[in-house]
Amino acid sequence: MDGIKDKAAIVGVALSEFSADSGKTELRMSCEVIKAALDDAGLVVTDVDGLVKQSEDASDEHAITSSMGMGNLTYFGEVKWGAAPCAMVLRSAVAVAAGSAKCVVVYRAVNGSSKLRMIPSMKTSGQMSTSDLLQWTFHSPYGLMTETGSVAMLVRRYMHETDAKAEQFGWVTTVCRENGARNPEGLYYEQSITLEDYLASRIVVDPLRELDCYKESDCAAAFVITTPEMAKDLKQPPAVIRGCAQSMVGETERMNSYYRPDIARLPEVGRVAERMFRMAGVRPQDIDVAQLDDAYAPLVPLQLEELGFCGRGEGAAYCEGGDRIRLGGEIPLNTSGGSLGEGHIHGMNHVVEAVRQIRGTSTGQVKGAELALVATGAGGPAAGLILGR
């Protein structure tokens, strides 16, 4: 199954500034960031013939095409949930490899801080889909109505089964903030923290602390995906898609997969790993740098296990002390800071950072990085990406 290996490349990326209040509509942010990603690639708006959006995004494709004067789309569609960044790359790469489009733009803009996102459980039943109703009706009356609470349930069970400790999870946030402190574009520039700061942060939903969890921010991001042939003549060295995969398994729920035999695992990430490593023809030890879903710090050790960077139940110990996961370590993680140390744009910045690593332009550059991995969607449907030169 070579699939789409080497048949598409990310040639342009852009990230708006992260802020607490953008003062702009999401549509304006999307138009600006798409234009910036095309400029980065050395392409123009009229080169674009495909658009892929996240299904919860505020701006539909027609609003983008009308605003930007994109004259001729031959491919468009949407991808759901937290795994979307890598899954949108997959959909774009499939389109490009099949010839349905030559130049696909992926975009996402969120005013997550200035305009709080709606929590699904707070919707009235008339506004909920049948599938949401099935799930939420058994959770909300008991007060389990936030993503943080949903994740905390899984984390408690993981701590019980593996003996993982908060002191070990804290190193994930500490290393992300160490990386974010080097990144002048992020929200936490020159604001590193210590493990003591982490342990002193307030408990939100026991066992999760404030510093385990991402903070909402306003931001937009876009990537441009095209064929390797077209990529040759563009402004930037291409980040070639070596492996890319998506996974949902039986008993996957959105963030509450409580009804399967073992809830303290991320089987979707395991399946993604299996597929994308096989497609790329590489092993975990060949990866130079990885951007993992760090919306919740304790889910990083679980991803390290599922991706094969360490064994089952060893993830938290692997992170302890930070040396294996920081710059210069065995597998440097979230080198621009990720959600915890740069800002939260639902994993879009993780893809942007992987591209920077391949180009050699990161503020946390891994010297000579040739293979960069991204994982999005920990705790529900998952997706992953391996980029190379």
Partner 1 sequence: MSVEYNKEHPIPVPALHPDNQGFWEGVERQELVLQRCKGCGTWSHPPRPMCPKCRSQEREWSPASGKGTVYSWVTYREAPHPGFKAPYSVVLVELEEGVRLVSNLVGVGPEEIAIGMPVEVVFDQVNDETLLPKFRKAG
CB burial class (10 A; 0-12, 13-18, 19+) of residue 71? exposed
Place of tokens 């441009």: 224
Of positions 157, 215, 359, 389, contacts partner 1 by CB under 8 A: 157
Single out the segment in contact with partner 1 by CB under 8 A; choices: 20-28, 150-158, 187-195, 349-357: 150-158
Tell whether residue 72 is a contact of partner 1 (CB under 8 A): no
80 sits near partner 1 (criterion: CB under 8 A)? no
Minimum distance from CB of 121 to partner 1 (Å)?
A: 6
Structure tokens at 200: 């002193």
**Interactions with partner 1, residue window 211-270 (CB under 8 A):** 250-251, 256, 258-259, 263
Phi then psi for residue 322, to 5 deg, are: 80, -15
Q: Beta 50-54 vs 103-111: how paired, if at all?
A: parallel
- Which of 45, 58, 63, 145 is the binder for partner 1 (CB under 8 A)? 145
Least Å from the CB of residue 264 to partner 1: 8
Judged by beta carbon, residue 208 or residue 273, the one nearer partner 1 is 208
State the nearest-atom distance from the C-beta of 341 to partner 1, in Å: 24
Q: Does 376 bind partner 1 (CB under 8 A)?
A: no
User: How far apart, in Å, are the Cα atoms of 133 and each of 6, 17, 56, 122?
Assistant: 41, 36, 18, 12
18, 222, 239, 252 from 40: Cα distances, Å? 19, 11, 13, 37
Name the helix (H) or strand (E) containing 219: strand 218-226
Task: Name the nearest CA neighbour of 228 among 337, 68, 389, 106.
Answer: 389
Q: Please select the residue that binds partner 1; options are 28, 115, 156, 359, rule is CB under 8 A.
A: 156
What is the three-class DSSP state of 276?
A: helix
- Residue 153 to residues 139, 141, 150, 266, 383, Cα–Cα distance (Å): 12, 16, 6, 14, 22
> Please, which of residues 183-212 interact with partner 1 by CB under 8 A?
202-208
33 versus 378: smaller Cβ distance to partner 1: 378
The span from the CA of 59 to the CA of 24, in Å, is 13
Nearer to partner 1, 149 or 243 (CB): 149
Q: How far is the CB of 60 from partner 1 (least distance, A)?
A: 28
Closest separation between CB of residue 149 and partner 1, Å? 6
Long-range CB contacts (within 8 A, 24+) of 62-69: 63/27, 64/27, 64/30, 64/31, 64/34, 64/107, 67/27, 67/31, 68/31, 68/34, 68/35, 69/45
Q: How far apart are CA 373 and CA 49, in angstroms?
A: 27
The one-letter amino acid at 185: E
Q: Which is nearer to partner 1, 205 or 224 (CB)?
A: 205
Is there binding between residue 381 and partner 1 (CB under 8 A)? no
Measured from the CB of residue 199, what is the shortest distance to partner 1 in angstroms? 16
Reference 376, options 342, 341, 343, 338; nearest CA is: 338
Indicate the residue among 27 and 208 with the shorter CB distance to partner 1: 208
**The only residue of 152, 164, 187, 289 in contact with partner 1, by rule CB under 8 A:** 152
Q: Tokens for 78?
A: 């949407």
Instruction: Name which position in 85, 149, 238, 270 contacts partner 1 (CB under 8 A).
Output: 149
Q: List the one residue from 44, 98, 133, 200 that touches partner 1 (CB under 8 A).
A: 133
Exactly one of 19, 67, 114, 140 binds partner 1 (CB under 8 A); that residue is: 140
Cβ-based nearer residue to partner 1, 120 or 308: 120
Q: Give contact residues for partner 1 (rule: CB under 8 A).
A: 119, 121-122, 125, 128, 130, 133-146, 149, 152-154, 156-157, 160, 202-208, 250-251, 256, 258-259, 263
